[in-house]
Structure 1
């Protein structure tokens, strides 16, 4: 028995007309639900045929059994079950008539038929843009993922042939256009802004096809190896420059504080004397021991004592 593929194993072959994206594969529960829906159609059809057959046997009318068989065939052909997350696009004489579902729906035999059944759940499409030239002519490879959903199944089926492939191609070209407008240095700092810009452009383009773009997320940006070293050196130089600027600003602020303090000490003798006393007190606290006060400091203390008495 071969290995079972995971949900994301299948890759997109964009060159094929019947291109399939990995995330478009059916869930296991979808297959189970489809079998259950088909079984329901058979049960209802056989129940109707059984009623006609019983009536024909009771009434002794073989024609009634034949009519019951034909009625059961017609009922089976016009009865369909649409799953909760699906919508059926119904055409009448080849012209769009309505979007039906979910649940049990009926169509007029030979007049109406279901052209397509569209999954209305959220979808994720992985896409990439290779060798994209940025604004400063640096080639990069970008991997991204698109989250989108169909809000109008009728438009999605009638406006475009294959809306899944169309969304893929539009997302790829839009990503290339947006990446070509930014510099290589802005890719890391403006990633969220680039995501929003790509999503907004895709929303405007796909909305007329009945598709809504929820979000776009850039997963990886590959830069050529020969440019990574130069970009790292540039980043280091920028960090060193910013550190030197901050240090210069701090030194400037400290020097301005010293100038203001010198002006204050020059204008106010009491401030200078108070500073001298504070310096002596701090020295005693830190180192301990005996303090010998010179005559100049003694006069300073006497001056402070006189100021205290006047106060």
Structure 2
């Protein structure tokens, strides 16, 4: 047992030494310690809505206005010149700039001479050409952003690779447009920073085991950070935690030892209960000889009931039944005399 424990302690020490060496190497290369790698594509591939209808509507408006203006010039002036074509093009462009369509999930931020004026959409809306501009079309649907942190050090100086997914959406298009330059990129970077800080405050065992607690902590931190941007964090879910191979082996040995400990404790508790029960039974049999005899007879019966065999016992065993056998001997001895 001592050699086995020494072997386990040696393996644990070697694994910890390897982990600390990796941590020191990570500290020596500071650019790699807290490096985060966001996914280039933050949308889940699947069925996606198309904006082709908006472009088609603008193209149709442009063509219709151009044709109507040219037809009106033809009817009124009796001919179409270069000036008429230029005027028709200008009119078509102005009308196209004035009438717009927003999809059901879109909010359009409209500025008037550079100042915020309103949020339009969804559906058909109008703007004043040149004076008003559609600054940003904001998608208010739920978005999915994947993010992670590579070789981030825990509180006990163990480098971890953690990947997570963030569900969020924009509820205030005005704040998302006017309070932050690129809110999508800002959410990604804020998520990565919050993940790194949460890992740095906890030990490796706490990070690996308490995922739900880590999810709640990340959600709380991100909500406080992105709320001024008009963004709501729906949930944060840690997908994968990669531990160093040496540390995985050590934690596996620790888990096995813990399970063996629990099994031995349960076995000892069972033996203790059995011992207490046997003590009570012994006291009962000591006070009542008849109960002890009945128990002995029951054991004999149970031993031959299934097999139907015969048990040969020493003659001294019958002394326990002397009260019964004595009467039988008397009867047997009297029978021949009669």
Q: Taking structure 1 as the reference length, what is the TM-score of the superposition?
A: 0.78
Higher-RCO chain (CA-CA 8 Å, sequence separation at least 6): 2
Which structure has the larger Rg over C-alpha atoms?
2
Q: Structure 1 residues 274-283 or 179-188, which shifts more?
A: 179-188
Provide the C-alpha distance between the structure 2 equivalents of 1:217 and 1:265, rounded to a whole number of angstroms.
Answer: 63
What is the aligned counterpart of 2:275 among 255, 270, 277? Answer: 255
- Say if 1:234 and 1:27 are closer, same or farther in 2 by CA, change over 3 A: closer
Checking the alignment, whether the CA contact within 8 Å between 1:48 and 1:72 is kept in structure 2 is yes
Q: How many Å apart are 1:57 and its aligned residue?
A: 4.4
Task: Give the structure with the higher percent helix.
Answer: 2
- Secondary structure of the equivalent of 2:238? strand
CA distance in 2, matches of 1:153, 1:268: 89
Helix, strand or coil for the counterpart of 2:147?
strand
Aligned to 2:225: 205
Q: 1:181 to 1:274 in 2, by over 3 A?
A: farther
SS at 1:110's partner residue?
Answer: coil
2:318 matched to 1:294? Answer: yes
In the superposition, relative to structure 1, how do residues 27 and 187 fare at CA in structure 2: closer, same or farther (>3 Å)?
Answer: closer
Asked if residue 191 in structure 1 is aligned to residue 208 in structure 2, the reply is no
Q: CA RMSD in A?
A: 3.2
Q: TM-score, normalised by structure 2?
A: 0.72
Match of 1:96 among 99, 108, 116: 116
Partner of 2:42: 23
Unpaired runs of 5+ in structure 1? 1-13, 303-311
C-alpha spacing 1:135/1:283, structure 2 compared with 1 (3 Å) = same
CA shift for structure 1 position 76:
0.9
Does 2:291 match 1:271?
yes
Measured in 2, the distance between the counterparts of 1:216 and 1:299 equals 81
Q: Which residue does 2:24 correspond to in 1?
A: none
Q: d(CA) in 1 for partners of 2:322 and 2:193? A: 85
* Matches for 1:147-226 after TM superposition, within 5 Å: 147-226=167-246
In structure 2, the CA distance between the partners of 1:280 and 1:20, relative to structure 1 (3 Å rule), is: closer
Query: Which residues of structure 2 form unaligned runs of 5+?
Result: 1-34, 327-338
